[in-house]
Structure 1
Amino acid sequence: MRRQLLPRDLGFELHRGDELSLFKWFLASFLFGNRISQSIAAETWRVIVETHGCDTPRKLCALSHRELVRMLGDGGYRRYDESTAERLSLLCRTLIAQYDGRILGIAEAADDRADFERRLLAFKGVGPVTLGIFMREAGPALFDHE
């Protein structure tokens, strides 16, 4: 069984209260949670975040659908690029509309970890796999008792 990639494998660390690192990990988790190889998902994350500097929901929402599809393709994410671009754009728009574009906004609105997880699962394109990947690393940065 291969080792799962961690935030440090992508060049950053998760820290309590650090919105930027939480969103970067959420974006990575979203890509890793799809049916695509881990290496292609990681390369696609690097293209989006490092090459193009799109490391916030607002920056991603500023992209046209075509620009986002091109970035996904540049990372090797070609098979599901159109549908992934649509889901990613919708996810960012929803995050902005409901939680001021902040993962910490979800945590602030949630009653507890279970409620936080329910709220994440309510985002179109976020399923149990994405949730599990995200919470494996972000849980301790979001919830004191972990």
Structure 2
Amino acid sequence: MATQRITAHQLGLDQALARAEESALFKWLIASFLFGKPIQQAIAVQAYRVIVEEHGRDTPRKLGQCSHAELVRMLGQAHYVRYDNSTAERLLKLCGKLHDEYGDRLGTLVERSTDRAECEKRLLAFEGIGPKTVEIFMREAGPALFGRAARHG
């Protein structure tokens, strides 16, 4: 059974992501995080739209300032209920780690990585980010972040 593959284009992030804009990197990471869980992709898309677009939690600081209960409510609003508590907890921890270790910037995480493999390893160090989430994130962010260097370096 083939699963639908959600793209940055479908979320309106493709052009900004191609320029490796910080806001697009974070939004795509949140989308990848949601898509990487064993849940229907349509529900994951709705959860992304509710959290990022409807509630404006589109930066690590804004998302990290949510309470656990607020985030669970947002996930419930999107019918992302199977993993709502653990997802809320892990999203808050993701924002906390991004704040504490990288100053709220995925660009800093990338800059501190010597190559794509190290960047992937750093992403895997976030609780709740596994190989599937990294694969989804790098599928579209990777070329903007490492594609040119890999071709010219």
| TM-score of the two chains, using structure 1 as the length reference | 0.96
Q: Work out the CA distance in 2 between the residues paired with 1:10 and 1:68.
A: 20
Contact 2:35–2:45 (Cα < 8 Å) also in 1: yes
Q: Work out the CA distance in 2 between the residues paired with 1:81 and 1:3.
A: 22
Secondary structure at the residue paired with 1:140?
A: helix
Q: Which amino acid aligns with 1:11?
A: G
Counterpart among 83, 95, 98 of residue 80 in structure 1: 83
Q: Which runs of 5+ in 1 are unaligned?
A: none
Per-residue CA shift, 1:86-132, capped at 9, x if unaligned? 00100110011001111111101111111111000011100000000
How many correspondences in the alignment? Answer: 146
Q: Which runs of 5+ in 2 are unaligned?
A: none
Which of structure 1's runs of 4+ aligned residues deviate more than 6 A?
none
Q: Work out the CA distance in 2 between the residues paired with 1:123 and 1:107.
A: 14
Over the matched positions of the two proteins, sequence identity in percent amounts to: 55
- Please give the root-mean-square deviation of Cα atoms over the aligned residues, in Å: 1.0
Aligned to 2:136: 133
2:45 is the alignment partner of 1:42: yes
Aligned to 1:55: 58
Aligned to 2:116: 113
Contact 2:61–2:104 (Cα < 8 Å) also in 1: yes
How much has 1:16 moved relative to structure 2? 2.5
Q: Work out the CA distance in 2 between the residues paired with 1:118 and 1:2.
A: 26
